[in-house]
Structure formats: structure tokens, C-alpha cells
Amino acid sequence: MANQNLSNAKNAKNDEFYTQYADIQKEMNAYLDYNPDVFRGKTILLPCDDPEWSNFTKFFAQNFERFGLKKLISTSYAPDSKKYKYGYQPSLFETENPQFDIEKTQTHGKIFILERDKSGDGKIDVEDLEWKYLEGDGDFHSQEVTLLRNEADIIITNPPFSLFREFLAWIMETEKQFSIIGNMNAITYKEVFPLIKDNKMWLGATGNGKDMVFAVPEGAVVNEKDREKAARLGYAGNYTRLGNSCWYTNIEHGRRHQPLPLMTMEENIKFSKHKEIRERGYQQYDNYEAIEVPFTDAIPSDYKDVMGVPISFLDKYCPDQFEIIGATESEGKGFSKGLFDSQSTVTQPLINGDKRYKRLFIKKV
């Protein structure tokens, strides 16, 4: 049931999850800790956003000068073009502006730009945001938003859940840096895994597979158990917990270069906190040329051949310590060339005929 809320979102086309300011801050700070100038002189694009409500826009606008940004661009998607309808109401920020248009607010996206001290108070911050309606509805596929993508240096957002694959492909058409939120199960998508394997994309530094909480619009479909979990974490009301969310990025951070402290195979069999390892050791798959390592902290430091590990391993993955060889064949052949027994009728790893969860295959560097 861990992904019930994400399943509901996909079925109901409920893609509007607002990321918490603190979660954005923690992830961006990890990039800044590794490289204090990571955003300096850069143009940042925040597509798929709702600038009046979005914490992405607020965060980067408030930190514009501290980060040394060149320009901040944020775009929204027109309410009438969304597949889900929540009785959209324009904000006071929009309605009290002379350029407000009662028809365009429903049919056109908006663009917010920050690059100068408009207010004349001697600083550039959220008070200096300038906006106008886009010519179109703000779809990221549009030429209008694609030109903004081409102008930007870095793309950061929480894209619609149901369009994650398309959005990632849209980013990868360029050589831009990016940081986006998605479902951790996307790791084994055929559009995603090759990027991870080839070191063109990796998990972010924070929140991976943990309890990330998102705000949702009034009337959104939310699993009640996840709403209750969000409330226990201090977010009561229109919030939900998506426990399988993670950041995907190609921006370097320090967590990525911290090797895992591991025991040898012999030490694990004797002292592992996992009863399964102590009692069974490391078993060979029936249909893959690899051993099963069901827990990341049980990876043996001295094993030199291929190991199958949970996809959550990527949260601790250090490319200086391990090489990613492949993944289970859940979306077609080719993820684990030379490891999978082509005679097997089951693409999931088997041990004595019993299925295991999706696995990444790794080897010590």
C-alpha cells in the first residue's frame, strides 16, 4: 500500500502536489554545501509551477541575491488545460493587478520573471517579481516554454506525476542541469535507468524514500491514511504524505561521494543485524548471475562479483565505490545484459522459485 496515493494520483490525474519550503531548502543547501557557486550567474527555470502558491518560486526569489542568480523564470499551466478541475480561483496578487484578464486567467499560463530591483528598495527579492500571461496555456511541450528551457541554465520543479517520463525526456533534449521530484519506482523505467547507469542522473541528497509531505488543492483525491500520516508529521489539513518520492538530479552533492561503511561477507554472516543474512547468508538467484543482497547495509565489502540490491541503494550509492551493472528486466530486455537467464519466464529475480522485488545489479569498483 506504500504507493496507494501515487496510484490514486495517476488514476485520477491528480498531479498537483505542492512541495514544502523546508524540503526545497534542504535539497538546494546540499548542492550549495558542495559548491557554493552552483547557482551563481545562472538563469533558473521553474516550469510546471503555480508561482502565486509555489514554494519553489518563493525560495529562489527570497534567495536571489544570496545565490547570485542572474535571472529567475517561473511558469504556470492554465487551469482549463489541466485534466483535473478543482474550481480554480485566481489569487489576489493577480486580480488586483491592472493586467488581470478574467478570460485569460483560465485559458492562459502565466510567466513570472525576477531579474531587477523593480521596487527600488535596493534589493532583489520576491517583491520584485514581474508577471504577464503567456501566449499559450503554459504546457512545457509548447514552443513558448521550450524556448525558456533553452534560455535557462538550471531547471528545478516538481513535475506532474503522470507526465514524469515525458518531462524528463524534454529536459534531456538539452544539456541543462536539473533537479526534479519523482517517484522512486521510476528508477527502473526504461527511460530513466539508462541515465542513472550512465551517470547522467542520480538521486538527490535528501528526502529519498522518506516521508515527504506535499500540500494539495482543496478537493484533491487524497488517501486518508496518507493524510493522517501527514498530520502526524505536523501537517494538518490539505496535505498528503508520499513516502516513495525522491529528487532526481545531475547537480553534484557531497552525499554522492561518501562511500558506504561496510563489513566483509564473513562479518555480515556472523554479526549482521538482519536475521535473514545471519541464517541464510548470501543466496544465488535462479535466473540472474548475481547474489541476493536484500539490505543495503548488508552489502559485503569484499565480494567482487555482481550483487542484486534494493533500488533504495541509490540513496547511498557512491560511484567511486560501486558500478551499476544493470537492473531487473521489468520493462523489457537489455537492462542487465549477460546477467539474465533468457530461458526464464519470470523477469523478477527468483530464489528457489520465489520472486524477489525489483533489484539493481552492482559490482565493486
Contacts of 210 (CB under 8 A, 6+ apart): 243
Give the 3-state secondary structure percentages of the chain, helix then strand then coil, rounded to 5.
Answer: 30, 20, 50
Average pLDDT of span 114-122: 95
pLDDT at 229 (0 to 100) = 82
Average pLDDT over every residue of 335-345: 90
What confidence tens digit (pLDDT) does each residue in 176-222 have?
Answer: 999 999 988 888 888 999 999 999 999 999 977 676 888 887 767 77
Average pLDDT for 111-116: 96
- pLDDT recorded at residue 156: 98
Per DSSP, helices labelled H in the chain are 4-12, 21-34, 55-62, 64-67, 92-95, 104-107, 143-151, 164-172, 193-197, 224-232, 265-271, 275-280
Q: Is 133 helix (H, G, I), strand (E, B) or coil?
A: strand
Asked if 269 contacts 277 with a C-beta cutoff of 8 angstroms, the reply is yes
Phi-psi region of 287 (alpha: psi -120 to 50; beta: other; left: phi over 0): alpha
In the block, cell 516513495 appears at: 244
Does 12 have pLDDT greater than 70?
no
Inform me whether the pLDDT recorded for 82 exceeds 80: no
Q: Average pLDDT in the 9-17 region?
A: 52
Average pLDDT over the chain, rounded to an integer:
89
How many CB atoms sit inside 10 A of residue 38's CB?
A: 19
What nine digits make up the cell of 224? 486518508
